Amino acid sequence: MQSVCQTVGACSSCLKRQLNGFMGYIKWQRRLVPACVRTTYSETGKWEKTYGLETRRRVENWWLPRIKDQFCRISETDKSRPKFYVLSMFPYPSGKLHMGHVRVYTISDAIARFQKMRGMQVINPMGWDAFGLPAENAAVERGVHPASWTQSNIQHMREQFDALGLSFTWEREVTTCLPEYYKWTQYLFLKLFEAGIVYQKEALVNWDPVDQTVLANEQVDDNGCSWRSGAKVEQKYLKQWFIKTTAYAKAMFDALSDLPEWYGIKEMQANWIGDCVGCFLDFLLKVDGKVTGEKLAAYTYTPEAIYGASHLYILPTHSLLHGNSILKEVFQREFIPGKDSLTSVTAVNLLTHQEIPVVISAKPNFENYLDTKIGIPSTSAEDAAVAKNLGISFTEVIETLPNGLEKVMNSAEITGMTRQEALKAITQQAKKKRIGGDLTSDKLRDWLISRQRYWGTPIPIIHCQTCGTVPVPYEDLPVVLPNVTTFTGKGASPLETAPEWVDCSCPRCKAAARREVDTMDTFVDSAWYYLRFTDPHNTERPFNSELADYWMPVDLYVGGKEHAVMHLFYARFLSHFCHDLKMTKHREPFHKLLVQGLIKNQTFRLTTTGQCLKREEVDLTGAEPVHLKTGEKLQVAWEKMSKSKHNGIDPEELVKEYGIDTLRLYILFAAPPEQDILWDAKTDAMPGVQRWQTRLWTLVTKLIEARASGTMPDPDLLKKKEKAEARKIWEQKNLVISEVTECFTKDHLFNAAISRLMSLTNVLQQASRPLILHSTEFEDALASLCIMIAPMAPHIASEMWKGLAHMQNKLCTHHHWDVDVLHQSWPKVDPEYLQPSDVVEMSVLINNKACGKVFVPQQAARNFEEVHELVLQSELGAKHLQGRTIQKAFLSPRTALINFLVQE
């Protein structure tokens, strides 16, 4: 293939130029007004009575380029205003949006528009998780450079986003494969390296013996064979880079209690981390009394009893027996399968300086993921039995006093301490000396970030024979990917084929050295992108701390449940680390999570082979689906949409058939966000939301026609019965405003919000002609209905509002008729709706200082949870409590006072 760039190191700059070029094209393209003949109201002043297919197309073509709000531009950030940061998980640029993308981004778009209408300063940023294996596979299979493939996919997906009417803060766009982004990923890696949280050790990889290359897990099929060569995959030990996430296990576990809005996900995070009761401690290995230079970290459940250690216990599968250790032969020679094997290798505890023997366990497994343990007979009957059987001496270090209190003895400076005091002392000493001591569980493993790939962030490390492992100086960042033009999928990492890049000089001694040829796991890129969005064009640092402190934490993070463990764990880890570096004020990155379910469609499989059939290969006319060709009965199931299962739906085709607003409303109405949607467009919510839009349009048509009839509207002409009907409309309007606002702010049940808006539509449909003509309540309720629909269906809402704005003889003067619907303020419940006798004026204090009052319903005034939530949802709460950490709150029902204690 033709070279994408001609010189080493030019690949990323080339991609940047290409990206800038096509981004400029897209920005230009988005300003185009469709060259269609306009016959709708906004253009001609003539209202079309029916909302048919052609009207819908013209409305959406007209409004699509006009409602692309940029929300908060970088230059407009006003730190004195309340903010709302809504973030949807950024996509991998695969080249084509699927229905899962449409769902998550429709949700975030609706929330962003709603919060802006509430007066918040909103960012709804978007970017690209652009490194990864598929781009490299494309290079092997199609001869397309990963940079070109990625650039092309981003361009296409940007166009798809625009076609769906999704309004992102594109000014804040980030692309992880560009040097201006991954420079700061490398910067954070170096900070972790300085803190002793990055290290190298041997770990197992999937090895293709035919192609002589490392395979990712997804490149190994269900039979354990290579996807390309077909060879049986082997497990091989290679030196890999790790981030010591276990160092933050206890802090991250404890911080989960500060995340009340992580419904269901907190438990998954807690289970992933595990109970942090023990710690790892470092040992130096010796053989025949000689120091080998090899270190080993071993876990103990009782660090306070470390002076009573008798032996180090390793599994027969440990890398010391199978990897590239200089002790491999010794261990293999002295290992007796099926028996605990006492070896001639000893381990020196770097904290206590005690020397104990290494024992190879007879067991095939320890608890959870442990492969190395410290044997301490004083606290484990099993360890005591092993020591006795092998004749290893040990010292008792725990004594129980007559009152039941346990204290430590025979343990140097911690002798006489309680077990809890000794635990704290030992772990603190070990952490201070950087030889372990971080409380963690027996199930959490450190994060392996090495990838033997080209298309990833280069690890900024140089290997020197004299100086060892040397970090690249900060001033030399970024380490830019070289231009590699040949991708075979065989042999070593493609970076090895760029000797001009690999061979370099040591930053310390200037001697010949080599760059690290592994790249980083893409999870590293996405572990901090939410921070870069707060200051995406900063060339001096990853982000400005003041801007990060203003925008963080993310108020609402929207994404799939499949990322509820690993991605969230890594993102939380990086956020905790940045907080410890004083880079951020907030320790936790995400205030509230909204985890959406899958969109599933039916699959039809042949019972004999399990092969999935295309819909056109299935006969659906009978009682049960059968294969059209053979008549064979099929296995039918609801499964996640997938190209390989032939059950995917193309969003572009749906937009052509139903329209943008109908698709958006369907996505929001078909099921609550957390539940799966079972796709059946003919019989489920799709016809319902289509009919609803027609009814809404008809209501606007009725009002416009009534006001253009020549009869002047006069509320005094309404009869007593009609005034009672108007009162009911007013009450229904206020009830729906209250309920829909709660749906958007509390539980995000958009299906319930749409249902309530439909109920208000039904009430308005029943209004008599005199009521439509003369009632202020009808006009106000219909205007409020248009405003509340706008975040979810912005195109039809914009057109209906324009029709109302140009309507003759309006009765409502409090609406801003001269601006579009998306710039209206979100409707508020009328104060008189809550009768004075039914409300309590609640005084609000923050850190014992009065800051205002909020009206709450009488029946809620004595309920702490309800008052707490009502204050947070109020304008006062948004202004003074938004984004701040509330440590405690106290309610005094007798004095109608609530006091919030917040972290300054």
Distance, in Å, from the CA atom of 868 to the CA atom of 859, rounded to the nearest integer, reads 14
The Cβ of residue 624 has, within 10 Å, a number of other Cβ atoms equal to: 9
Supply the DSSP string of 389-430, one letter for each residue: HHT------EEE-TTS-EEE-S-GGGTT-BHHHHHHHHHHHH
Asked if residue 143 has pLDDT above 60, the reply is yes
Is the Cβ–Cβ distance between 651 and 160 less than 8 Å?
Answer: yes
Cα-Cα-Cα-Cα dihedral of 754, 757, 761, 764, to 10°?
170
> 96-110, 130-144, 532-546, 826-840: which range is least confident on average?
826-840
Instruction: Please count the other Cβ atoms lying within 10 Å of the Cβ belonging to residue 402.
Output: 5
Residue with the bigger pLDDT between 1 and 79: it is: 79
Residue in the block written with tokens 């049940």: 749
H-run or E-run covering 349: strand 341-349
Locate all alpha helices (DSSP H) within 301-418, ordered by sequence.
319-322, 328-334, 381-390
Residues 728-757: what's their mean pLDDT?
94
CA distances from 481 to 118, 485, 519 (A): 45, 12, 10
For range 47-74, the mean pLDDT: 86
- Beta strand pairing status for 213-215 and 278-287? unpaired
Who's near 813: CB < 8 A, 6+ residues apart?
A: none
Give the three-state DSSP class for 388: helix
Q: Distance (Å, rounded) from C-alpha 753 to C-alpha 773?
A: 28
Residue 491 pLDDT more than 90?
Answer: no
Coil/strand/helix, residue 596 = strand
Q: At what angle do helices 53-63 and 794-805 cross, to 10 degrees?
A: 90
Q: What is the pLDDT of residues 393-428, one digit of tens each?
A: 999 999 999 999 999 999 999 999 999 999 999 999
3-state secondary structure of 841: strand
Q: Are strands 83-88 and 121-123 parallel, antiparallel or unpaired?
A: parallel
Per DSSP, 337 falls in state T
Mean pLDDT lowest among 147-161, 331-345, 613-627: 613-627
The angle at the Cα of 194, spanning 193 to 200, to the nearest 5 degrees, equals 30
List Cα–Cα distances, 182 to 302, 458, 480, in angstroms. 41, 9, 9
Using only the alpha carbons of the chain, give its radius of gyration: 32
pLDDT digits (tens, 9 = 90+) for 90-120: 999 988 888 889 999 999 999 999 999 999 9
Question: Pairing mode, if any, of strands 677-678 and 599-606?
Answer: parallel
- With residue 760 as reference, give the H or E element that holds it: helix 750-765
What is the average per-residue pLDDT within 731-742?
94
Between helix 750-765 and helix 776-789 the angle, nearest 10°, is 150
**Are 88 and 187 in contact, with CB atoms under 8 Å apart?**
no
Cβ-contact 331, 321 below 8 angstroms: yes
Which pair of structure tokens corresponds to residue 83? 């903010």
C-beta separation of 281 from 303 below 8 A: yes
| Bridge partners for 839 per DSSP | 857
Cα(16)–Cα(175) distance, rounded to whole angstroms?
A: 10
**CA 332/CA 32 separation, integer angstroms:** 72
Give residue 606's pLDDT: 86
Q: Looking at 487-491, 527-531, 540-544, 885-889, which range is the least confident one?
A: 487-491
Q: How far apart are CA 737 and CA 142, in angstroms?
A: 55
Rounded to whole angstroms, how far apart are CA atoms 424 and 428? 6
How far apart CA 518 and CA 456 sit, in angstroms, is: 9
Q: Is the pLDDT of residue 281 over 50?
A: yes
Judge contact between 249 and 438, C-beta under 8 A. Answer: yes
> For residues 437 and 351, what is the distance between their CA atoms, to the nearest angstrom?
10
Cα–Cα distance, 416 to 422 (Å, whole number): 9
pLDDT digits (tens, 9 = 90+) for 186-196: 999 999 999 99
Are the C-beta atoms of residues 372 and 312 closer than 8 Å to each other? yes
Please give the Cα distance from 113 to 68 (Å, whole number): 11
Give dist(CA 145, CA 4) in Å, integer. 7
C-alpha 414/C-alpha 185 separation (Å) is 42
pLDDT over 50 at 35, yes or no: no
What is the C-alpha to C-alpha distance for residues 737 and 9, in angstroms, rounded to an integer? Answer: 57
pLDDT at 79: 87
Give the pLDDT confidence of 854-889 residue by residue, as tens digits. Answer: 989 888 888 999 999 999 989 899 889 988 889 999
Using the predicted structure, report yes or no on whether residue 577 has a pLDDT greater than 80: yes
Angle between the N-to-C axes of helices 265-273 and 566-580, in degrees from 0 to 180, rounded to the nearest 10: 80
d(CA 424, CA 416): 14
Helix crossing, 750-765 with 720-742: angle to 10°? Answer: 170
> 344: which residues sit within 8 A by CB, 6+ positions away?
287, 288, 330, 334
Per DSSP bridges, beta strands 461-464 and 372-375 are: unpaired
Return the residue matching tokens 């006001």: 707
